[in-house]
């Protein structure tokens, strides 16, 4: 039972985002530009759904000029718009022109790479220019740092109530202009800009409700205090820093630093309810107590990166002085950390510290915590190139997704975890501990089996990790992940993966080293499985396997384990023969296999009493024998002898209770059904019946879709079909007729009579 079931609207919007090619089509405009439109001309999304779809595309990194074309005003309505560059390329003016057709009241466009803030504002329609109430352009840029660049754009937005220009090149003159001309401005965020004098804010003293000055380097602290005293209606004030502000020449920070002055003299700001002094060390708890006494409305206090958060009144719920009515950011308790994650997702240093302390907490958590993941994900996403953030984030995501906690999480959260984990792997390929964190997260049955993500990309990242690091645990996890993913990706992708020569070299080297010590540990098992899955229906991978001397190695492996413990020998032989079967399916490689040493080895394994081994050996024989006598190369083992052995082997089998093998398709059997030798046909139809009987839901429909049923019908109707072959064919056709859940009667086969 998932702890956080997904809402139906979320599911529908996710489906649209993930199936754009099926639901939409490209359309050429009169301006000879391409845009995406819905195939159904009757589609119209009301405002809530329109904004939900836009936000989802933004969150999934799928927002670009083409997808933005979906939001025509005749099919959608946008009032609150959030924009961010997608993974496939940044937004440009071409795509953003769509904004002109909507009446937008709130616009958030953070960190656009190719469009400056002036150009963005130029893409807005007349109604929007006159009515826009909120503008957030954090991490962007105004064409250049000249006065004109700020004035021209922002001065047109006279209705603005909220403006966020943090982390931009917004300058002193721009502050003077907006404070003088924007008569409705109530909320202003100047964080991390070049502003060093907030004197112009006095123009807003009657209206200003919120002022954020995180990481500002103010030249005159006394002047700041005078400005704040004038802003009598201020409710939120942020004067936090990443680190303690360096004192200016001739001034002592303990006396003149803004936070100290505010706390000591702060009997003004009567309506203050939120104060952030994070990163401001040197403040005494006595000062804070006095300040809070004269400001009873304060319900939030930012104390991250300070010692103050350790005080019992902010940390210890059992303390008599605990201030339960105040939300606090910091690193001293789970509540503080969660609040920090919620408020500081765009601050790298803050996220690093919060995640570092969160890691210790998550180690002891027993219940799934989607609430923490929901806050952790934006922080990790906002700092993809910050190693310390990614190191801590990947460690926390592992703790939050492992074991029972992960099993109870909704797949949407696990999918997000995988996406961010893969991004971290890609950005820091040579950082061993981060890669290990990622492997620990990905090496999960729940994730690998049930979560939908880009498995090919993941497998490639893991293979790169396998080739880079030598730590045994990382090798073990890498081959385990690859062995599972290789069975779940399309054949064209396994070919791209398996035909990479360095990947093949590494996998074969692992097999060689394990075989030399006759080890059959989990690493050996998964490596053999990975090679088996990578060569399945992939001739190019089979070619690389042979070119890297894989055949001689595998023959040596069979020899090395012939006298070892029975279960280990069976495990190795089954996986080795499974791969050799893949080679035998490739027509142009059969002459490489039809040599004396190989044929003698396969004949010996064909006659083993273990059906798992005999089955795969028989498959190899069937494929080699399908070449016909004129192509047969082996002299020590004549083709008729192998055919006779093949018939005897199949006749001696009883259908096992469980499925022995999985196939991507029935393609390998089609050629065998056309062979005139009944022994070859017998193995093919026995194998087809086996998988259809043991996993009918998958294979019965596959057999019909791939045309196998038609071939079986022709065999059933042919006068030349051997009776035993026809008997199994009839059994398969009966299963197809009655449905995959109807078990057929299993009868022993009589010896073939040629």
> Average pLDDT for residues 124-139, to the nearest whole number?
95
pLDDT band at 152 (very low <50, low <70, confident <90, very high): low
Can you list the positions of beta strands (E) in 264-393?
274-276, 300-302, 327-329
> Quick one: pLDDT at residue 32?
64
Res. 411: pLDDT tops 50 = yes
Enter the tokens of residue 742: 């109807």
Query: Who wins on pLDDT, 517 or 741?
Result: 517
> Quick one: pLDDT at residue 151?
56
Res. 742: pLDDT tops 50 = no
> Quick one: pLDDT at residue 31?
66
User: Per-residue pLDDT tens for 176-211?
Assistant: 999 999 989 999 999 999 999 999 999 999 999 999
**Cα(592)–Cα(551) distance, rounded to whole angstroms?**
9
Enter the tokens of residue 656: 């096992």
> Quick one: pLDDT at residue 59?
84
Query: What residue has token string 């990706």?
Result: 489
**Cα(218)–Cα(205) distance, rounded to whole angstroms?**
19
> Quick one: pLDDT at residue 752?
57
In 3D, which of 623, 622, 552 has the Cα closest to residue 586? 623
- Please, which residues have CB within 8 angstroms of residue 235's CB and are 6 or more apart in sequence? 209, 210, 271, 272, 273, 274
Region at 250 (left for phi over 0; alpha for psi -120 to 50; beta for the rest): left
User: Which helix (H) or strand (E) covers residue 25, if one does?
Assistant: strand 24-28
Backbone angles phi, psi at 78, to 5 degrees: -125, 125
Res. 471: pLDDT tops 70 = yes
Q: Nearest-5° angle of CA 534, CA 537, CA 540?
A: 70
**Cα(731)–Cα(250) distance, rounded to whole angstroms?**
96
> Average pLDDT for residues 720-737, to the nearest whole number?
91
Res. 1: pLDDT tops 60 = no
> Quick one: pLDDT at residue 150?
58
Query: What residue has token string 């035998």?
Result: 584
In 3D, which of 416, 509, 521 has the Cα closest to residue 466? 509
> Average pLDDT for residues 304-325, to the nearest whole number?
93
**Cα(621)–Cα(644) distance, rounded to whole angstroms?**
11
> Average pLDDT for residues 352-381, to the nearest whole number?
91
Are 503 and 540 within 8 A, CB to CB? no
> Average pLDDT for residues 643-667, to the nearest whole number?
88
User: Per-residue pLDDT tens for 601-653?
Assistant: 999 999 888 898 999 999 999 999 998 878 888 888 888 998 999 999 998 88
User: Per-residue pLDDT tens for 483-529?
Assistant: 999 999 999 999 999 999 999 999 999 999 999 988 889 999 999 99
Res. 15: pLDDT tops 70 = yes
pLDDT, mean over the chain: 89
pLDDT band at 248 (very low <50, low <70, confident <90, very high): very low
Are 112 and 120 within 8 A, CB to CB? yes
Q: Nearest-5° angle of CA 70, CA 76, CA 78?
A: 105
> Quick one: pLDDT at residue 4?
59
In 3D, which of 599, 686, 691, 613 has the Cα closest to residue 647? 686
Res. 255: pLDDT tops 80 = no
Are 172 and 218 within 8 A, CB to CB? no
User: Which helix (H) or strand (E) covers residue 212, if one does?
Assistant: strand 210-212
> Quick one: pLDDT at residue 484?
94
Res. 750: pLDDT tops 80 = no
**Cα(256)–Cα(751) distance, rounded to whole angstroms?**
100
**Cα(523)–Cα(18) distance, rounded to whole angstroms?**
35
User: Which helix (H) or strand (E) covers residue 81, if one does?
Assistant: strand 80-83
Query: What residue has token string 């070892």?
Result: 564
> Quick one: pLDDT at residue 552?
95
pLDDT band at 261 (very low <50, low <70, confident <90, very high): confident
Are 191 and 278 within 8 A, CB to CB? no
> Quick one: pLDDT at residue 67?
86
Give Cα separations from 421 to 338, 347, 444 (angstroms). 21, 20, 13
**Cα(382)–Cα(413) distance, rounded to whole angstroms?**
17
Res. 655: pLDDT tops 90 = no
- Please, which residues have CB within 8 angstroms of residue 191's CB and are 6 or more apart in sequence? 166, 167, 212, 213, 214, 215, 216, 238
Enter the tokens of residue 751: 């010896």
Length of the chain in terms of residues written: 754
Count Cα atoms within 13 angstroms, Cβ side, for 184: 15
> Average pLDDT for residues 375-394, to the nearest whole number?
94
Q: Tell me what percent of the residues of the chain surpass a pLDDT of 90.
A: 61
Res. 374: pLDDT tops 70 = yes
pTM of the model: 0.86
**Cα(547)–Cα(542) distance, rounded to whole angstroms?**
9
């Amino acid at each position: 039972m998932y702890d956080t079931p997904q809402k139906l609207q979320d599911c529908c919007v996710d489906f649209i985002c993930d199936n754009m090619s099926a639901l939409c089509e490209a359309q050429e405009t009169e301006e000879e530009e391409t845009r995406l439109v819905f195939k159904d001309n009757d589609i119209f999304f009301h405002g809530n759904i329109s904004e939900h779809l836009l936000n989802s595309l933004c969150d999934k990194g799928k927002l670009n000029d083409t997808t933005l074309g979906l939001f025509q005003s005749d099919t959608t309505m946008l009032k609150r718009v959030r924009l961010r560059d997608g993974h496939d390329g940044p937004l440009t003016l071409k795509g953003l022109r769509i904004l002109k057709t909507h009446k937008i009241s709130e616009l958030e466009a953070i960190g656009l790479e190719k469009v400056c803030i002036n150009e963005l504002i130029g893409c807005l329609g007349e109604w929007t220019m006159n009515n826009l109430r909120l503008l957030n352009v954090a991490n962007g840029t105004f064409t250049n740092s000249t006065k004109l660049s700020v004035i021209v754009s922002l001065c047109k937005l006279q209705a603005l109530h909220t403006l966020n220009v943090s982390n931009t090149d917004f300058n002193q003159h721009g502050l003077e202009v907006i404070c003088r001309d924007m008569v409705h401005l109530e909320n202003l965020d100047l964080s991390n800009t070049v502003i060093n004098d907030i004197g112009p804010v006095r123009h807003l003293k009657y209206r200003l409700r919120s002022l954020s000055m995180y990481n500002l380097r103010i030249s005159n602290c006394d002047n700041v205090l005078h400005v704040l005293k004038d802003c009598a209606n201020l409710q939120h004030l942020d004067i936090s820093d990443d680190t303690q502000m360096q004192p200016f020449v001739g001034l002592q920070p303990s006396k003149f630093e803004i936070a100290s002055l505010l706390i000591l003299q702060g009997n003004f700001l009567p309506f203050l309810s939120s104060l952030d002094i994070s990163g401001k060390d040197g403040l005494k708890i006595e000062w804070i107590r006095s300040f809070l006494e004269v400001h009873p409305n304060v319900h939030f206090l930012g104390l991250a990166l300070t010692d103050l958060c350790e005080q019992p009144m902010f940390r210890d719920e059992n303390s008599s002085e605990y201030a339960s009515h105040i939300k606090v950011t910091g690193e001293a308790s789970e509540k503080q950390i969660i609040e920090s994650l919620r408020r500081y997702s765009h601050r790298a240093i803050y996220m690093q510290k919060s995640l570092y302390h969160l890691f210790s907490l998550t180690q002891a958590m027993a219940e799934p915590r989607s609430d923490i993941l929901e806050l952790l994900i934006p922080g990790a996403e906002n700092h993809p190139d910050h190693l310390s953030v990614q190191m801590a984030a990947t460690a926390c995501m592992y703790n939050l997704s492992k074991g029972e906690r992960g099993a109870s999480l909704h797949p949407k959260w696990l999918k997000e975890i995988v996406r961010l984990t893969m991004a971290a792997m890609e950005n820091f390929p040579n950082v061993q501990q981060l890669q290990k964190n990622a492997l620990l997260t990905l090496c999960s049955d729940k994730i690998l089996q049930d979560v939908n993500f880009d498995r090919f990309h993941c497998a490639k990242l893991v293979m790169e990790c396998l080739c880079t690091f030598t730590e045994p645990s990382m090798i073990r996890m890498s081959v385990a992940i690859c062995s599972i993913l290789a069975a779940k990706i399309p054949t064209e992708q396994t070919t791209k993966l398996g035909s990479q020569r360095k990947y093949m070299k590494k996998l074969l080297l692992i097999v060689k080293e394990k075989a030399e010590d006759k080890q059959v540990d989990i690493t050996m098992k998964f490596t053999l499985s990975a090679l088996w899955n990578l060569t399945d229906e992939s001739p190019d991978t089979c070619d690389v396997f042979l070119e890297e001397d894989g055949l001689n190695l595998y023959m040596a492996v069979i020899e090395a384990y012939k006298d070892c413990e029975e279960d280990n020998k069976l495990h190795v032989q089954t996986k080795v023969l499974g791969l050799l079967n893949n080679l035998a399916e490739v027509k142009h490689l059969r002459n490489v296999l039809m040599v004396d040493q190989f044929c003698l080895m396969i004949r010996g394994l064909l006659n083993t009493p273990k059906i798992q081994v005999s089955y795969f050996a028989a498959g190899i024989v069937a494929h080699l024998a399908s070449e016909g006598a004129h192509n047969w190369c082996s002299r020590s083992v004549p083709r008729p002898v192998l055919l006779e052995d093949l018939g005897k082997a199949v006749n001696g089998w009883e259908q096992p209770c469980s499925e022995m093998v999985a196939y991507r398709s029935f393609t390998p059997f089609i050629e065998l059904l056309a062979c005139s030798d009944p022994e070859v046909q017998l193995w093919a139809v026995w194998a087809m019946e086996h998988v259809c009987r043991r996993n009918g839901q998958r294979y019965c429909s596959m057999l019909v879709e791939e045309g196998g049923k038609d071939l079986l019908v022709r065999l059933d109707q042919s006068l030349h079909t051997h009776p035993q072959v026809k008997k199994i064919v009839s059994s398969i056709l009966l299963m197809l007729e009655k449905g995959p859940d109807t078990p057929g009667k299993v009868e022993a086969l009589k010896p073939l009579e040629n």
